[in-house]
Amino acid sequence: MIDEPSRGVKLTERQRLSWLRLIRSDNVGPATFRELINNCGSAERAIEMLPELSQRGGSSRKIRIASFSEVELELEQIERFGAKLIGIGEPDYPPALRQIEGAPPLITVKGNLKLAQPPSVGIVGSRNASITGRKFAAALAASISQSGYSIISGLARGLDAAAHHASLNVSAGMGTIAALAGGIDKPYPPENLDLYNEICAGRGLAITEMPLGWKPIARDFPRRNRLIAGVSLGLVVVEAAQRSGSLISARRASDFGRLVFAVPGSPLDPRAGGTNELIKEGAILTTGPDDVLDALAPISRIEQNNGTIIEETDDDLPDFEPPDNNARAIILNALSATPVEIDDIIRHTGYPAQTVYLVLLELDLAGRLQRHSGGFVSLILET
């Protein structure tokens, strides 16, 4: 039985437009979006502050801010496509995804929205999968889906497709979620278009954080993998080479505190090299669905409705002086191309956290800062 959507607060149409303008503007990612709301109180005021903050960060050019007409057109096209744009505090937002560091403020979804609410299990693996690997992934997906979990994967050929098909077709199953690297209207690869249409037609849900019309390129797939890891409570890797996207998903799942499962394989098969290595590193050895279900049972009923909520305020925030040039120089000097934890910058410089976070925000908007998982940042060196 699918639970009712978790409690939340719907965005007003004005807020939705402002949130979309902000996240579609230059150099504004999920973490920056959250910092801007915290410092400015609302997306509208943050948009007003973008040029000044970017200039203070040392940008040599004017920051591009998404226009009203641009986001109004995107919202209109999303609706025409039969999809929906959901904010992080709204009832239909996946509860587990809300809990991760850097959760996307806005996602676009199409299909059965109720599938976002029950606990999910990710199943991923090789695109060049063996027949045995595909059969095993399908069997896992069918059994786990029948036990009350939706199955999330990345719509890729091979094991992803096998997991999607099995969880769609099994009787009394929960269904499947496809995480996309591109826009909701740009599923990849083209050979899985029929599968994608079947997912969106009823017993499945497609999800992405990318704009409508966005054609996925190589650097977008790690973001898709992050969605898979974030939505799921546990991630099963069936077949994966030593260097593969599935291992990126496993690392992100581990970073998010998710359980990671790995199916062992022959040491002579390169497609098992990554999964065998995951087992050495502490992943749960998995030879059947019970290994997954037994491990997840204690946590699958834990309340998931807590987590990040981005709340705007109508109250006037207290005015504060921007950091002076001396503070900015000292904080900048503490940064390098090597990632460093923000808390270490605060301790090293002796400046208040608010001052450090504001300088980092300025650098971020100027395109001079890179954010990493775990609260680490590094300086983007000019070439």
pTM score: 0.89
Mean pLDDT by 10 residues, the chain (383 residues): 54 95 96 92 94 91 94 96 95 93 95 92 94 96 95 96 94 90 96 96 93 94 94 96 88 94 92 93 96 92 61 65 87 94 94 92 93 90 70
Local structure of 370: helix, strand or coil: strand
User: What would the DSSP string read from start to end of 262-296?
Assistant: E----TT-GGGHHHHHHHHTTPEE-SSHHHHHHHH
Local structure of 285: helix, strand or coil: strand
- Would you state the pLDDT for residue 2? 37
CB distance 48 to 63 below 8 Å: no
Nearest to 278 by CA among 294, 298, 254: 254
CB distance 56 to 329 below 8 Å: no
End-to-end CA distance of the chain: 55
Residue 314 tokens read as 């109508």
Q: Which residue has the tokens 């896992």?
A: 140
- Would you state the pLDDT for residue 4? 42
**Domains of the chain by residue range:** 13-106, 109-300, 325-375
CATH T-level fold of 325-375: Arc Repressor Mutant, subunit A (1.10.10)
Nearest to 6 by CA among 106, 78, 145, 113: 113
User: At CA 306, angle to CA 305 and CA 307, rounded to 5?
Assistant: 120
Local structure of 71: helix, strand or coil: helix
Local structure of 171: helix, strand or coil: coil
- Would you state the pLDDT for residue 196? 97
- Would you state the pLDDT for residue 3? 41
The length of the chain is: 383
Helix and strand numbers, DSSP H then E, in the chain = 15, 12
Beta bridge partners of 152: 122, 177
- Would you state the pLDDT for residue 243? 83
Residue 215 C-alpha from the chain's centroid: 17
CATH T-level fold of 109-300: Rossmann fold (3.40.50)
- Residue 236 has phi, psi (to 5 degrees) of -105, 125
Checking DSSP bridges between strand 84-87 and strand 120-124, what pairing results, if any? Answer: unpaired
Q: Which run of H or E residues covers position 84?
A: strand 84-87
